[in-house]
């Protein structure tokens, strides 16, 4: 039996354990930068299996190194383990036990399959060459993300390439999906406060209405993408919050707006920020208000190295895994991902495993009804395991 076959059989036999781990993590979620107990659970698993963990970053991130003791390439496999501030609506026996917190993006599944894959690779470390770094990362969901501090702390020192995977409820279950080059959007967020002068609604001439100023800004903002961005580029600007709550007969002194920016080229990032700053200044002058803009340029565009990604795809195609139903170039994806920081530092690939639930309903990521078909987790483990073995030249 080849090592490839041996590993695939071991992962198939461990599928119930992967699902059990995922459900346990799902029932006990923790939000970004607060994943203390989650990290303890994962580390305990590795200790029981004779594996050591090493902390990285200023959060709860850590790694497990699988050293063959022989020269060769060095690959990092990354999974994130934070949850979201979402109240779960699903009626499941393993429903979230933490009010207002839910694994609504699949990070529990990412963690579970990688834990088992790491254990099985560790058992066979003497048959490998090079090294595999299992990278468990917290705080993917919230800027500045968990990746940055781990990278700053040296988590990629000596690493040649990084490979990550994400389950996707918008893709057919057990499909393996990929894209080359620019693959996920870059992101920025901003908070904007306009301050005027409050007053009585019957005497608007004695006041300076911040709601009018904010409303004009929202309307003018729509021209940034439609008139300042090349139609062949991808960009979006959204105002997700306009907090101007007050009384029906009072002119509001101050309003707070929160916005989201998505781009597919880093050159577009600067254009949008410049245009927003100019609009803010124009509103100040036009309406006689003052503005405070807090602009956070955070996650970069996620760039999949074409050569490395093609090699990953080729290895999975050649393996003809029974757990993979289709292999598809899914095209660019709308969400942003802090895996992009790893991809800035090392040639990387971020791939997708379909997990669509076959009930005919929509279960989108970040929603209170997010669900996954758990058969995707074996697919993820086998795809990542296959790519790892081929990468190491086994």
CATH number for the domain harbouring residue 243: 3.30.70.360
The answer to whether residues 176 and 306 belong to one domain is yes
Residue 89: count other Cβ atoms within 10 Å of its Cβ. Answer: 11
Instruction: Tell me: pLDDT of 360 over 90.
Output: no
Q: What is the mean pLDDT of the chain?
A: 97
Together in a domain, 178 and 190: no
Condensed to tens digits (0 to 9), the pLDDT of residues 82-119 reads: 999 999 999 999 999 999 999 999 999 999 999 999 99
Q: Among 297, 315, 347, which residue terminates a domain? A: 297
58 given a catalytic annotation: no
- Note whether 96 and 219 are same-domain residues: no
Are 12 and 157 within one domain?
A: yes
Q: Are 50 and 95 members of one domain?
A: yes
Q: Which of 35, 88, 140, 209 is catalytic?
A: 140
Average pLDDT over every residue of 240-251: 94
How many distinct structural domains can be found in the chain?
Answer: 2
Residue ending a domain, choose from 297, 314, 343: 297
85 and 173: one domain?
yes
- pLDDT surpasses 90 at 334: yes
Name the 3-class secondary structure at 31: strand
What is the residue range of 157's domain?
A: 3-184+301-391
Alpha helices in the chain (DSSP H): 3-13, 15-27, 36-48, 107-123, 147-152, 210-228, 266-287, 306-319, 340-345, 376-391
Q: How high is the pLDDT of residue 230?
A: 94
Span 23-55, pLDDT tens digits? 999 999 999 999 999 999 999 999 999 999 999
For position 78, which CATH number holds?
3.40.630.10
Are 287 and 309 members of one domain?
no
Query: What would the pLDDT profile of 128-141 be if each residue is shown by its tens digit?
Result: 999 999 999 999 99
Instruction: Find out whether 178 and 312 touch, Cβ atoms under 8 Å.
Output: yes
Residues 104 and 146 in one domain: yes
**Closest by alpha carbon to 50, among 100, 137, 153, 125?**
125
Q: Three-class SS of residue 257?
A: strand
Task: Tell me: do 216 and 285 sit in the same domain.
Answer: yes
Domain boundary among 257, 275, 297: 297
Q: Both 56 and 163 in a single domain?
A: yes
Please tell me which residue in 15, 30, 80, 82 is annotated as part of the active site: 82
130 and 261 share one domain: no
Closest CA to 195 of 254, 252, 283, 243: 254
Rounded-to-integer distance, Cα 244 and Cα 327, Å: 48
* Domain co-membership, 28 together with 172: yes
Share of the chain above pLDDT 90, in %: 98
If pLDDT is split at 50, 70 and 90, which confidence band does 394 have? confident
Q: Is 15 a catalytic residue?
A: no
pLDDT confidence bin for 244, thresholds 50/70/90: confident
């Amino acid at each position: 039996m080849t090592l490839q076959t041996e590993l695939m059989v071991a992962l198939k036999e461990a599928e119930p354990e992967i699902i059990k781990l995922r459900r346990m993590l799902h029932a006990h979620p923790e939000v970004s930068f607060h994943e203390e107990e989650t990290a303890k659970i994962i580390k305990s698993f590795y200790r029981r299996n004779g594996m050591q963990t090493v902390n990285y970053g200023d959060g709860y991130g850590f790694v497990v190194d699988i050293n063959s003791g022989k020269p060769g390439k060095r690959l990092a496999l990354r999974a994130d383990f934070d949850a979201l501030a979402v109240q779960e609506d699903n009626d499941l026996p393993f429903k979230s036990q933490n009010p207002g917190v839910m694994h609504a993006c699949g990070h529990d599944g990412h963690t579970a399959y990688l834990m088992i894959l790491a254990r099985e690779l560790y058992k066979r470390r003497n048959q490998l060459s090079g090294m595999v770094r299992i990278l468990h990362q917290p705080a993917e969901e919230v800027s500045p993300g968990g990746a940055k501090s781990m990278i700053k702390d040296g988590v990629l020192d000596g690493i040649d390439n990084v490979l990550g995977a994400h389950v996707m409820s918008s893709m057919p279950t057990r499909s393996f999906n990929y894209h080359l080059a620019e693959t996920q959007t870059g992101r920025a967020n901003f908070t904007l406060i306009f301050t005027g002068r409050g007053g009585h609604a019957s005497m608007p001439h004695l006041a300076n209405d911040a709601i009018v100023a904010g409303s004009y800004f929202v309307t003018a903002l729509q021209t940034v993408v439609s008139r300042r961005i090349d139609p062949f580029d991808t960009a979006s600007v959204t105002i997700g919050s306009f907090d101007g709550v007050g009384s029906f007969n009072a002119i509001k002194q101050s309003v707070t707006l929160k916005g989201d920016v998505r781009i597919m080229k880093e050159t577009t990032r600067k254009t949008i920020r410049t245009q927003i700053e100019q609009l803010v200044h124009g509103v100040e002058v036009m309406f006689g208000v003052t503005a405070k803009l807090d602009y956070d340029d955070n996650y970069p565009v996620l760039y999949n190295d074409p050569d490395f990604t093609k090699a990953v795809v080729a290895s999975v195609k050649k393996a003809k895994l029974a757990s993979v139903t289709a292999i598809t170039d899914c095209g660019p994806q709308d969400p942003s991902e802090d895996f992009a920081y790893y991809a800035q530092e090392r040639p990387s690939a971020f791939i997708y495993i379909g997990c669509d639930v076959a009930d005919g309903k929509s279960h989108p990521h970040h929603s209170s009804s997010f669900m996954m078909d758990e058969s995707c987790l074996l697919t993820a483990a086998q795809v990542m395991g296959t790519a790892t073995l081929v990468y190491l030249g086994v």
